[in-house]
Structure 1
Amino acid sequence: MPSPFSANIGLIDRFKRDIEYFGLVTVGRCWNGVEQLKSSGSVFTMFVEVENDHEFQRLMSTNQNTVLFVDFNATWCGPCQAIGPHFKKVAEAFPANTFASVDIDKCKATAQSFGITAIPTFIVFIRSQKLDTLGAANPTSLHNWVEKWSKNSVMMESDVPGQYDLTGFIDATRSEVLNDEDPTAFRSLVNPNAPDVPLASDCDEQLIMNIVFSQAVKVHSIQIDGPGEEAPKHVKLFVNVPVTFDFDRAQSTEPVQALDLSESSLQALRFVKFQNVQNLQIFVENNKGGDDKTIINKLKIYGTPVNGVTNMNSFKRVSGKAGRTH
């Protein structure tokens, strides 16, 4: 029977690095409820009890590769003491993540900075960014919340360092596509769980996509890819236009940024121009081969939410309505 330690060398190495950085050489302070280092089969749990504001800042700065779940509580709070043991059990069920307990009396500045006005309050962070908050919870709702965000963090993984894949923030119900051959294709592009249906133009080579986000985002870069000569070439981007452009207006209006995808389908944007994006209109002017049909089989928008994730609509892929007018 293999050693339980062999299956999780990466987790153990991460733990060693973390406690070396923290200076928490007493293993019992830093692992599994700050009580003991333990193994359960091949499962290891990273659970930190934060002693002061400085320790929390260290935790935030070093925990960049895992999801961080934080329980804000107090020793005098009855509901906190009731849910606390269940938070530790949830931590054991999701060992790839990091869990922390923060006493608001020991970490007053931290609690104030995150607007903690009631306890217990649970907050999830990814790369030091606050994504969601859970108030008073029972064991089932707490478990479901952690499970939900453990899965959603995978959806947000990005090929662009330091940026999120913003696909989950697209509101397909309010987005619109003009001159698309198949009205279901757009929602397939923005739903990783949907069948692969390429977005193809209908009457000619041009496409307009009015992409609406569920909350304001900062857009860092964009990737628009297609097969061979049918891939998009020249693209115009417009920000926060209240109505979907028609093709004449898109052709004649000065864009926020124009892209030439001849060399690379992944393009960095002028970040300062895309700081508070509610909707992004993409006008595909032509394709690489000069043909009448343009095909998009990959659309990725990378960046960050302006204010973190305010609700889970950011991760719901729902059916969108697409137009076919030209």
Structure 2
Amino acid sequence: MGLCFSSTTGDDDEPAKHSQFSGGKVVFIATKDAWNQKLSEAKTQGKIVIANFSASWCGPCKSVSPLYIELSEKHPSLMFLTIDVDELTELGTQWDVKATPTFFFLRDGQQIDKVVGANTAELQQKITAIVDSRVPGDQK
């Protein structure tokens, strides 16, 4: 399982940085206001949020990103967000992110589970379990 802990690079290639972490139904969160708005939207819609705390320089984050995007397309009943911990350090601190990637599973803005590292099997298993428990008759 891959983990990244800190950045010493000053990568200024903003569009390329974000494009690798968004796509499908993944929403890239660039501001605290956008974060709050998406959490509010998820609560109103009764959706569970999967929040991917990543960094553009993190190899494991890059390697898990295509699967994360694929899962977002496969499970539209969930809300998939990506947060760059270098851009929104306040959120990374607030959620006590110690390594990237860290995936938080949130219901009504509260943590119900998490996966630390690029553990694709565990990420898929937890998402499948959430979907299966939420929609007993609708197994896509």
TM-score range normalised by the length of the shorter chain: 0.7 to 0.9
The two structures have a TM-score, normalised by structure 1, of 0.33
Q: Give, in angstroms, the shift of residue 54 of structure 1.
A: 1.9
Q: Which of 116, 126, 129 lines up with 1:135 in the alignment?
A: 116
Unpaired segments ≥5 residues, structure 1: 1-32, 36-44, 156-326
| Residue 126 of structure 1 pairs with residue 126 of structure 2 | no
User: Runs in 1 of length 4+ with deviation above 6 angstroms?
Assistant: none
- Summarize deviations over 1:270-302 as a string: whole Å, max 9, x none: xxxxxxxxxxxxxxxxxxxxxxxxxxxxxxxxx
Structure showing the higher strand proportion among its residues: 1
Q: Distance in 1 between matches of 2:125 and 2:80?
A: 15
Give the 3-state SS of the residue equivalent to 1:150 in structure 2.
helix
Q: Distance in 2 between matches of 1:121 and 1:56?
A: 16
- Summarize deviations over 1:214-252 as a string: whole Å, max 9, x none: xxxxxxxxxxxxxxxxxxxxxxxxxxxxxxxxxxxxxxx
Unpaired segments ≥5 residues, structure 2: 1-20
1:206-221 superposed matches below 5 A: none
Q: Distance in 1 between matches of 2:117 and 2:84?
A: 16
Corresponding position of 1:56: 35
| Residue 80 of structure 1 pairs with residue 76 of structure 2 | no
Q: Name the count of aligned residue pairs.
A: 114
Give the 3-state SS of the residue equivalent to 2:27 in structure 1.
strand
Q: Distance in 2 between matches of 1:78 and 1:34?
A: 16
Corresponding position of 1:98: 79
Give the 3-state SS of the residue equivalent to 1:63 in structure 2.
helix
> What code does the residue aligned with 1:93 have?
K
CA contact (8 A) 1:66 1:97 kept: yes
Give the 3-state SS of the residue equivalent to 2:96 in structure 1.
coil
> What code does the residue aligned with 1:124 have?
F
Q: Distance in 1 between matches of 2:122 and 2:103?
A: 12
Q: Distance in 2 between matches of 1:150 and 1:109?
A: 30
Indicate the percent of aligned positions where both proteins have the same amino acid.
Answer: 22
The two structures have a TM-score, normalised by structure 2, of 0.73
CA contact (8 A) 1:67 1:153 kept: no
Give the 3-state SS of the residue equivalent to 1:116 in structure 2.
coil
> What code does the residue aligned with 1:68 have?
V
Structure showing the higher helix proportion among its residues: 2
Q: Give, in angstroms, the shift of residue 127 of structure 1.
A: 1.3
Q: Give, in angstroms, the shift of residue 63 of structure 1.
A: 1.2
Give the 3-state SS of the residue equivalent to 2:51 in structure 1.
strand
Q: Distance in 2 between matches of 1:135 and 1:69?
A: 13
Structure scoring higher RCO (CA < 8 A, sep ≥ 6) equals: 2
CA contact (8 A) 2:22 2:69 kept: no
CA contact (8 A) 1:53 1:108 kept: no
